[in-house]
Amino acid sequence: MVFPALPQHYSLASSSLRLTAHELYNIWATTTDMLQSGNYNHHRIVAHMNLISGKVVSTLEAIDQQYGAPLHDWINSVSEMMHRLWEELQVHDNDVNELETPDIQYMELFVNKRTGRRGRPSKQLSQRALEWVASPQCGLTVTAAARLFNLHRNTLTKQLKAAGYPTRYSRISNTQLKKIVATTLKDQPDSGMVYITGHIRSRYQLRVQRHRIRTAIHQADPIGVSMRRLGASKIVRGKYHVSRPHALWHIDGHHKLIQWGIVIHGVIDGYSRKITGLRASTNNRASTVLEMFVNAVTNHGPPSRVRGDQGGENRDVAVFMVLLRGNNRGSFMWGSSIRNTPIERTWVELGRRFVRQWKAFFQRLQRLHLLDSNDKLHLWILHYLFLDAINNDCNSFVQDWNSHPMLKRGSRSPNELEMEGMIKHGVYRTEIKGFEFVDECEGLTEEETKKFYGYETESESDRSRDSGDESEGEEHSEGNDSSGEEDLEGDGYSEPSLPEAQHQGYPANGEDEEAYLNSISKDTDDNIRHPPIEVPEATSPLSGHEFKRFVKRFNAMDGREPVGYGIRREEWDDGVYPATEQLAVGRASRATTIHLPDHIWRPRARKWAQALYVIRKIIRDRR
């Protein structure tokens, strides 16, 4: 059986379609090889079935939507082949289950308790399960344990009490706890919080709150606490070194407005700290990040290398850089967020300058003006009204940032450092203002290239800390979002056209090109640890005609203030519109007062109320 080839015209014309076809072929080939080898089990089969029913189906739908009738025959051929492959997987899964099931013993979690009354018997946790939940070795709270067993917390508490098991923490005085901790530290003076907690649970069969154990440790061994804190908080950083402007860019996403369906993506030059790209978008797709990046390349020229975290939103940029600069040279350097400090530090200033104000404003709309962040229509209105304003703030911030003097860099601005660096050192083989130089990392492996730039091989502790943003010693940023682990790529990759001369090492003949693209895709996917963080969807129920009516009526509202939307003076507490909002900021979620000047933010709140009023009226008229 041979995988259907793309029609010749489309195979030559569209890089994105060609890459997508290669991805579909890879899925088919790897699944077929797995079945032929016989090296599979239930979990591997299910993973491949999910890949076909999820990624393959959505990819084919996207191709059909974009290209339509001319590719229907090819799409149908691929669909039939994938469907037959899925059915074959299902047959093998049934065979595997029949073989494996006798050797597997499952824990009986529930028993049916019959009361003699009518209705379904009561669902009761087994004695073994209850013993495990109540044992000190189980560190789960009752709420977490109930979630694990798919029970309500009250149900689990009731069953534990009925069986005679404790539902609360052990009763032990602070004096007794301190004595136990002191004894443990006497025997094991280097013990920390985790070790002592486990020791108390296993040796003394006690369940004690973490904050009480922490307090007892501080009282019993304050010097040891200080020493461990110094050792734990000290992060050994490599010396950051970038030889010239545009040798290394850093890319990342800022998710402080993601609750309202907005993500800000940015790129910064590591040498000069000049922001080369910054844009707010309503999704976190890889194609969206690539579009922002290509715009930065258009305005500032292409970098030699890019540094980003291992999120799926960076996939298309990684493929773009490898196609542009070549493979096996660190064209895109993957790693944890804590090693991406230049862009992470920028997010701190971004928050101070305008993101916190927008976040506080959206929270105000929720508190006073009927905004529901779970309503897709409400999010659509927010984007319609304010996305352009947020991007205007992004542009203003970029201009201010690139012009501001940096004390630690001799009071020179990023713009000045860029020009100074180009004059002294040149830039990487590009036509930017006529400066050139030879790549000093040419011939080095990817790991050697990372060491050159000051990024040593990352340890497991680095990866475990990769859940928050890091600053460069001045202040931590407000944190970073993370998500689960699943492969991606339903993003509609769209590769921009590039001069042929820039595709260094790009194979000339079609056969080598196919293998090269397959290799790039595989290498890229192997570096991705989690898919793009999901952004709440915003949709409008308005038809084209209704949208025109909405725009016309909204513009006609002028300065009118609808009743019942919290925007009229008689609807305010004491007749005064608030000038500030309280916002939880930073990892410690400290309460911070955010000032929202009345002349800027009250007109925006009025716009929101007007738009919500008009769109509700249009929907009512439809009914």
The DSSP annotation for 122-149 comes to EEEE-HHHHHHHHSTT----HHHHHHHT
Is the predicted pLDDT of residue 450 greater than 90, yes or no? Answer: no
In the prediction, which pLDDT does 479 show? Answer: 37
pLDDT > 90 fraction of the chain, expressed in percent and rounded: 25
| pLDDT tens track for 526-584 | 888 888 899 999 998 899 999 999 999 999 998 899 999 999 999 988 888 998 999 98
Q: Given phi > 0 = left and psi -120 to 50 = alpha, else beta, which region is 71?
A: alpha
Is the predicted pLDDT of residue 490 greater than 50, yes or no? Answer: no
| pLDDT tens track for 52-79 | 888 888 888 888 888 888 888 888 898 9
Query: pLDDT: is 102 or 232 the higher one?
Result: 232
> Does residue 353 sit in helix, strand or coil?
helix
Q: Which of 139-143, 417-421, 496-500, 564-568 has the lowest mean pLDDT?
A: 496-500
Cα–Cα nearest to 529, from 456, 587, 464? 464
Is the predicted pLDDT of residue 615 greater than 50, yes or no? Answer: yes
Task: Count the alpha carbons within 13 Å of 160 in the hemisphere toward its beta carbon.
Answer: 23
Provide the sign of the torsion angle of the four alpha carbons 389, 392, 398, 403, taken in this order.
negative
Pairwise CA distance, residues 87 & 65, whole Å? 26
Q: Which of 193-207, 401-415, 529-543 has the lowest mean pLDDT?
A: 193-207
| pLDDT tens track for 345-374 | 889 889 988 999 999 999 999 999 999 999
Is the predicted pLDDT of residue 482 greater than 80, yes or no? Answer: no
Amino acid at 281: S
Amino acid at 289: V
In the prediction, which pLDDT does 70 show? Answer: 81
Is the predicted pLDDT of residue 487 greater than 50, yes or no? Answer: no
Average pLDDT of the segment spanning 400-417? 78
Average pLDDT of the segment spanning 411-415? 78
Residue 471 near residue 477, CB atoms below 8 Å: yes
Q: Which helix (H) or strand (E) holds 608?
A: helix 598-622
| pLDDT tens track for 1-29 | 788 888 776 655 556 777 788 888 888 88
Is the predicted pLDDT of residue 159 greater than 50, yes or no? Answer: yes
Pairwise CA distance, residues 487 & 531, whole Å? 6
Residue 282 near residue 262, CB atoms below 8 Å: yes
Is the predicted pLDDT of residue 505 greater than 70, yes or no? Answer: no
| Largest distance between two CA atoms of the chain | 90
Pairwise CA distance, residues 309 & 399, whole Å? 26
